[in-house]
Amino acid sequence: MARISKSKNNAAEIPQHIAIIMDGNGRWATRRALPRNAGHAAGSETFRRIATYCRSIGVKYLTVFAFSTENWKRSAEEVQGIMQLFDKYLHEAIEEMARDQIRLRVLGDLTRISPELRALIEQTDEISQEYEGFQANICINYGGRDEIVHAARAFARDCADGRRTPEDLTEAMFSGYLYTEGIPDPDLIIRPSGEIRISNFLLWQSAYSEYYFTDVLWPDFDEAELDRAIESYHRRERRYGGAQ
């Protein structure tokens, strides 16, 4: 398949916002008799490569599901390894953001993250405010239901403090209380690894998203597979509840 390229002819066909559930790292490692964290390391490099490709073809936002609120149930060794990968990636991203003018946001409940990693996240967020263009969003300690509860509590506090009333609430206003405030809803959500479920990812934001499922494990996901996902997206007719 020919690579999708950024051009005036196909710019309108490129999804503005692609979201990916990065699944299959553990199985990839197990099939190679490697520790699970080797799969996460390989998946991290895949994210870096796919983010670069998305930027090159004109995608504006890429959001990836890196660590869910349920992933704390995994072994302490695996969780520690994943957090070390986040730390490594964010340190490297500081230089890359300046060089490539990339914005980076970390989305999720960061209260359970170590103070050192939270400080690094705040640093990268502050730096990336200077840049416009492509934005990568990494969901850490994220869950769609948890996000909605978090937003509802924030709105309730504003009502209790007299800044809002229940009658003020609209869908647009509620979206402003979500972690994804200011980010358009995803046009296309991709799930590698053969699983056909959304796993509590972007529940509010995905109301009208298109989905693409593939058996390819995330570390093996490449630019050609992303092209196939986008080609599949092109064949969809997005009616947003309207008649055909």
Catalytic residue among 10, 71, 109, 200: 71
Instruction: Give the sheet arrangement for strand 61-68, strand by strand.
Output: 103-107, 135-142, 61-68, 17-21, 188-191, 210-213
pLDDT band for position 129 (cuts 50, 70, 90): confident
Helix (H) or strand (E) holding 38, with range, is helix 36-57
pLDDT band for position 128 (cuts 50, 70, 90): confident
| 23: annotated active-site residue | yes
- CA-wise closest residue to 4 among 62, 64, 61, 53: 53
- Find the Cα–Cα–Cα–Cα dihedral 191, 195, 197, 198, rounded to 10°: -30
pTM recorded for the entire structure: 0.91
Judge whether residue 239 has pLDDT over 90. no
Rounded Cα distance between 34 and 162, Å, is: 56
Instruction: Report phi then psi at 185, rounded to 5.
Output: -60, 150
Say which residue, 94 or 140, is predicted with more confidence.
Answer: 140
pLDDT tens digit sequence for 49-63? 999 999 999 999 999
% residues pLDDT > 90 (the chain)? 81
- In this structure, are residues 71 and 103 in contact, taking their beta carbons and an 8 Å threshold? no
Judge whether residue 223 has pLDDT over 90. yes
Rounded to an integer, the average pLDDT of 88-116 is 88
Residue located via tokens 């970390």: 106
Rounded to an integer, the average pLDDT of 183-208 is 97
Ordered domains of the chain (ranges, CATH): 14-143+185-234 (3.40.1180.10)
Exposed e or buried b per residue across 99-123, where buried means at least 16 C-beta atoms within 10 angstroms of its C-beta:
eeebbbbbbbbbeebeeebeebbee
Rounded to an integer, the average pLDDT of 71-75 is 95
Judge whether residue 5 has pLDDT over 70. no
pLDDT of 96 reads 79
Beta bridge partners of 140: 67
Instruction: Report phi then psi at 54, rounded to 5.
Output: -55, -45
pLDDT band for position 241 (cuts 50, 70, 90): low
Rounded to an integer, the average pLDDT of 28-36 is 97
Judge whether residue 243 has pLDDT over 60. no
Rounded Cα distance between 29 and 43, Å, is: 10
| 9: annotated active-site residue | no
Rounded to an integer, the average pLDDT of 217-236 is 96
Mean pLDDT of the residues in the chain? 92
Catalytic residue among 9, 10, 23, 220: 23
The two structure tokens encoding residue 14: 């490129």
